Structure 1
Amino acid sequence: MNRLVTASGELELTRFPHRPQDPLRAWDAADEYLLRHLDETGGPQGALAVLGDRWGALTTALAAHGPVQISDSFLARSATRENLLRAGHEPAAATLLTTRDAPPERVDTLLVRVPKSLALLEDQLHRLRPSLHPGTVVVGTGMVKEIHTSTLRLFEEIIGPTRTSPAMKKARLIFATHDPSLGPGPGPWPLGYSLPEGIGAVSGRTVVNHAGVFCSDRLDIGTRFLLEHLPRLPGARRIVDLGCGNGVLGLAAALTHPDAEIVCTDESYQAVASAEDTFRANGQADRAVFTAADALGSVAPGSADLILNNPPFHSHQATTDATAWRMFQEARRALAPDGELWVVGNRHLGYHVKLRRIFGNCSTVAGNPKFVLLRAVRRGR
């Protein structure tokens, strides 16, 4: 937990799930810069929307203005709720929407925390443009390394004339002016493509990707490696695609295990929507449950026979193994006795060490110079 100093006082903020020894803060210089700018210019006016607030720092600091937060992250929304309560605000102080919800009908002030994914920014600016008007104040913020010419071009093409501020503490602001004469048209998302041949049951199948989902225009090579060695457990009753992305692993499990229920879960709402649309495009939508959650929070203990996992090792711009560690711990809780966790990851990440510590066992199923496929079994009851 750490303290963000604002014009109205100090805020104790935390990421979610809260880890006392977590060295990563719930805010950074980009959040500070934007809040300082708002304080110096009289604060946000009218109906306020906050897009992409990473851990709720902006929403919490501006709770008195009744903000609408729009987020793709289950974890960010959970952190926002906790931070609002910690700051003494009622749950109704802010409206928390996902990127899949209908945007507000009118936005007078739009604050944009620039996301890592340029595609997600493009998609959300397209979705929000009808809510804007010539008087809408649009201010983006991000670290200098997150703001590129392509970022500014999106604001220019979808919103209107755009300029940037000087850098401060390696952060920068973006100012865009709504141009009613622009006709950017509909956004290009979602995108679909056919999987290549040679990867078993899903060869030639259709995959659907909403904006912001990892490897949205091609099959991730780590996922392909797991597909090439996909386990078959004829007696499996429930199989979980953990961190499902576009759901291709879950789809492969559904096609090779016709009697199993499939659970596709991810902390990204865009990913969950992608997985559901992928299943629907392949006539398998009634085979699966799709849920946004923290790791396996939606899966009952001891209920899964097989869990497939290609864990991320980044949290926004930070490299961290905290997500993988939590996924592995949650997998052990969710697995039935003798249930199996199959993990694909970059060889250098050393996931086998964590898996042995958590499960007491770990075997290597396959490997190549870049990736390793690992199997851990839930022993005992």
Structure 2
Amino acid sequence: MTFSLDGLRRWPDVEAPGLVATDAADRLLLDESAAARADAGVGGLTVIGDGYGALTLAAAADGGTGIRVHQDPLTGERALAANAERFGLGGTFSSLPLSPELVGGARVVLLRLPRSLEALRDIAGLIAAHAAPEVVVFAGGRIKHMTLAMNEVLRESFGRLDVSHARQKSRVLVARMPHAGGDPAPRQATLDGIVVCAFGGAFAGATIDIGTRFLLDQLATAGDSLPRITAEGGAVIDFACGTGVIATALALRHPDLRVLATDQSAAAVASAAATARANGVDERVEVVRDDMLGAQPDSSGSFIALNPPFHSGAAVHEGIAPRMFAEAARVLRPGGELWTVWNSGLRYRPALERTVGPTRQIARNAKFTVTASTRR
């Protein structure tokens, strides 16, 4: 099959009208980098932040080989692999962590700009520390998601920064002359007695977002309910764990408890592992990168805590949380509980009742609702 950007799919991520696998920013990045990519040589191209494979596979279709790729969401990695198989482009790239191996000696880097400045700082510093001295970084995005602060972050690690003309509401920043690089390190803050660690790109950074804080407050006042729920065995899971604050708090409050923290974001998983270590509970908190709860058997969990996201990339989509409720229902054993915090305006309770089981309101404030759903 001939490669076509229009033929890309988002699967296994959410697919729905209005959610696209590629956009004008991908096309502009490919056009602006075409000459540089032609001279990159085998193994000279690195792609970071490719949504569903548009940049990687278009570069491969142009003859690129040995392409190194990092995508923060596991669904992005899997979509890239599926799209590559569909177009016969498997074997042209390798997926790697955000590490020196990803960018070592790279001559060209294609980067979809992350929305987090700290994520961009981590990436820029890593490239400057390990890429070839002549590296050229093409960093693009939709103008509505770009800020002048991004230019300043890139200037911290590169001596020259050029800006492309805008096209179809997209723009590319071109960075050269790397300097002052360094490997990413987590930011730390002590909040409510917990040391929170966050690499760039982790949701909420080294803070506790207000939804998570509200859920933590309700779990703290629940008293002995968690030991009662888990008395018959079964996994205790922090689902979509972010920086691992909930998993760590549960492990600190219940010294005999083992907790599984899971997220599809590589930055979140690294942050959660760092948070558990910083609080001395890493031997009882296992952190895994997973798409939903795909690695967990049916009816294996006794308790799941969830603060569901409502974004798929930059797009707001209400279909994400119901998929997570269904996955939690699959993993919970009968009588197990799903504790969820959600923006009250989203009105998730009917979906929880239908998908998981009887649902009671634990608490509600001006913005958030916490519910507990018992698996039928």
TM value normalised by structure 2? 0.90
Matched, 1:32 2:27: yes
Question: In the aligned structure 2, how far is the partner of 1:85 from the partner of 1:115?
Answer: 27
Worse-superposed segment, 291-300 or 350-359: 350-359
SS at match of 2:227: coil
Worse-superposed segment, 57-66 or 109-118: 57-66
Question: In the aligned structure 1, how far is the partner of 2:123 from the partner of 2:184?
Answer: 11
Q: Do the aligned partners of residues 140 and 19 (structure 1) sit closer, same or farther apart at CA in structure 2, a change above 3 Å counting?
A: closer
Matched, 1:189 2:188: no
Question: In the aligned structure 2, how far is the partner of 1:256 from the partner of 1:311?
Answer: 23
8 A Cα contact 1:244 1:264, kept in partner: yes
8 A Cα contact 2:202 2:243, kept in partner: yes
SS at match of 2:243: coil
Query: Quick one: which amino acid aligns to residue 94 of structure 2?
Result: T
Equivalent in the alignment of 2:10: 15
Equivalent in the alignment of 1:76: 76
SS at match of 2:79: helix
Question: In the aligned structure 2, how far is the partner of 1:240 from the partner of 1:359?
Answer: 16
Question: In the aligned structure 2, how far is the partner of 1:274 from the partner of 1:322?
Answer: 26
Query: Comparing both chains, which one has the higher relative contact order based on Cα–Cα distances under 8 Å and sequence gaps of 6 or more?
Result: 2
Q: Do the aligned partners of residues 303 and 22 (structure 1) sit closer, same or farther apart at CA in structure 2, a change above 3 Å counting?
A: farther
Query: Quick one: which amino acid aligns to residue 11 of structure 2?
Result: F
Equivalent in the alignment of 1:56: 53
The count of aligned residue pairs is: 363
Query: Quick one: which amino acid aligns to residue 223 of structure 1?
Result: T
Q: Do the aligned partners of residues 160 and 242 (structure 1) sit closer, same or farther apart at CA in structure 2, a change above 3 Å counting?
A: same
Question: In the aligned structure 1, how far is the partner of 2:372 from the partner of 2:302?
Answer: 13
Worse-superposed segment, 210-219 or 298-307: 210-219
SS at match of 1:356: helix
8 A Cα contact 1:100 1:270, kept in partner: no
Matched, 1:309 2:306: yes
Matched, 1:125 2:124: yes
Q: Do the aligned partners of residues 42 and 56 (structure 1) sit closer, same or farther apart at CA in structure 2, a change above 3 Å counting?
A: closer
Question: 1:350, CA displacement in angstroms?
Answer: 1.3
SS at match of 2:124: helix
Question: In the aligned structure 1, how far is the partner of 2:150 from the partner of 2:343?
Answer: 29
Q: Do the aligned partners of residues 367 and 19 (structure 1) sit closer, same or farther apart at CA in structure 2, a change above 3 Å counting?
A: closer
Query: Quick one: which amino acid aligns to residue 147 of structure 1?
Result: M
8 A Cα contact 1:193 1:217, kept in partner: yes
Matched, 1:269 2:266: yes
Equivalent in the alignment of 2:88: 88
Query: Quick one: which amino acid aligns to residue 28 of structure 2?
Result: Y
Question: In the aligned structure 2, how far is the partner of 1:23 from the partner of 1:10?
Answer: 16
Matched, 1:206 2:195: yes
Question: 1:41, CA displacement in angstroms?
Answer: 6.6
Unaligned runs of 5+ in 2: none
Equivalent in the alignment of 1:201: none
TM value normalised by structure 1? 0.89
SS at match of 1:263: strand
Unaligned runs of 5+ in 1: 197-203
8 A Cα contact 2:104 2:132, kept in partner: no
Equivalent in the alignment of 1:233: 226
Question: In the aligned structure 2, how far is the partner of 1:272 from the partner of 1:187?
Answer: 17
8 A Cα contact 1:103 1:127, kept in partner: no
Worse-superposed segment, 31-40 or 280-289: 31-40
Question: In the aligned structure 1, how far is the partner of 2:182 from the partner of 2:14?
Answer: 41
Question: In the aligned structure 2, how far is the partner of 1:215 from the partner of 1:116?
Answer: 12
Equivalent in the alignment of 2:166: 167
Q: Do the aligned partners of residues 328 and 42 (structure 1) sit closer, same or farther apart at CA in structure 2, a change above 3 Å counting?
A: closer
Question: 1:288, CA displacement in angstroms?
Answer: 2.0
Equivalent in the alignment of 1:45: 40
Q: What root-mean-square deviation, in Å, do the aligned CA atoms of Structure 1 and Structure 2 show? A: 2.1
Question: In the aligned structure 1, how far is the partner of 2:240 from the partner of 2:209?
Answer: 13
Query: Quick one: which amino acid aligns to residue 116 of structure 2?
Result: S
Query: Quick one: which amino acid aligns to residue 272 of structure 1?
Result: V
8 A Cα contact 1:239 1:253, kept in partner: no
Matched, 1:331 2:328: yes
Question: 1:98, CA displacement in angstroms?
Answer: 2.1
Percent sequence identity over matched residues? 36
8 A Cα contact 2:194 2:249, kept in partner: no
